[in-house]
Amino acid sequence: MTYFSEHFTEEELACPTTGNLILQEGFIEDLEELRVAYAKPMVINSGCRSYAHNEKLLQDGLPAAKSSLHLIGNRKYATNTLAVDLAKPNIFDQARFIEIALRLAWTVRVANTFIHVDQRTKYTGLKQHFDTYG
């Protein structure tokens, strides 16, 4: 296991299809800031995605967007990966995690089995928001 930063490994951040790990400049520092503020482990289920991997998720009917903020070399926003999906913390910590993430300007989207967080406002100018996957 190779650590990419203090709390996150290359394996959990890299695209599972290609093994590529290219984050938007400054994103790992943002992620570390969130981890330190939360003060508990954050398990990443999905980090970087190639276009091929993202397309496979879409074909499998999983919640992914054609211009996902997970994408390496996102053509629409001219960015690299600036989003991760995290394993959901227990119900008592979930509200605390969401409050911290929103305070630190993360967009938060809650699904049944994971929490998506991204730094869209900082890197694309898109508005921060909080919602759930339908």
- In tens, the pLDDT along 78-98 reads 999 999 999 998 877 999 999
C-beta of residue 99 within 8 angstroms of C-beta of residue 108: no
**Angle value at C-alpha 67, between 63 and 71, nearest 5 degrees:** 85
Considering the chain, what percentage of its residues have pLDDT values greater than 70?
Answer: 99
Helix (H, G, I), strand (E, B) or coil at 128: coil
> Which residue shows structure tokens 């967007």?
65
pLDDT at 1: 75
Helix (H, G, I), strand (E, B) or coil at 126: coil
C-beta of residue 96 within 8 angstroms of C-beta of residue 40: no
Q: What is the pLDDT of residues 18-34, one digit of tens each?
A: 999 999 999 999 999 99
C-beta of residue 18 within 8 angstroms of C-beta of residue 52: yes
Q: How far apart are CA 16 and CA 56, in angstroms?
A: 11
Considering the chain, what percentage of its residues have pLDDT values greater than 90?
Answer: 90
Q: How far apart are CA 129 and CA 19, in angstroms?
A: 30
pLDDT at 134: 65
Task: Name which of 4-8, 11-15, 59-63, 75-79 the model is least confident about.
Answer: 59-63
